[in-house]
A = this chain, B = another copy of it.
Amino acid sequence: MVVDSLGTTFAALSDPTRRAMIERLSRGPASVHGLTKPFALSQQMISKHIAYLVRARIVIKTKRGRESICTLRPETIKTVSDWAISYRQFWEESFDKLDAVVKQMKKVEARDGKTHG
């Protein structure tokens, strides 16, 4: 893979455990140990998941004594939002068109209602 920053971000987000970790970290930093408890996964796996999130620049890790404190970075999640929002016009137009189709169908239904059924 070439350097595909957004791709790395999406790959990191594809795992439900990692998304849950992000959700947890959005409420404040936590140690690896603290992140292990709720997940019924071994600490090694949590550590590996964190490494994945760090590589994707979603999380930063800082040493505090013998603990590693994980902190969620706001910028990267925002790039995901920015990516999705760039299609906002597309989906709003699509929904508008769908609305128009539904309205047209109802209109036809009302007009032809008595001749069909």
Contact = CB atoms under 8 A, between A and B. Distances in A.
Contact of A11 (B6, B10, B75, B88): B10
Task: Say what secondary structure dominates the interface of chain A.
Answer: helix
A103 B9 CA distance: 31
Nearest to A11: B14
Identical chains in the assembly: 2
A88 B81 contact: yes
Interface string A8-44: 1011011110010010001000000000000000000
Contacts of A69: none
The 8 A-B residue pairs with the shortest CB-CB distance, nearest first, are A74-B91, A81-B84, A74-B94, A11-B14, A10-B14, A10-B13, A26-B90, A80-B84
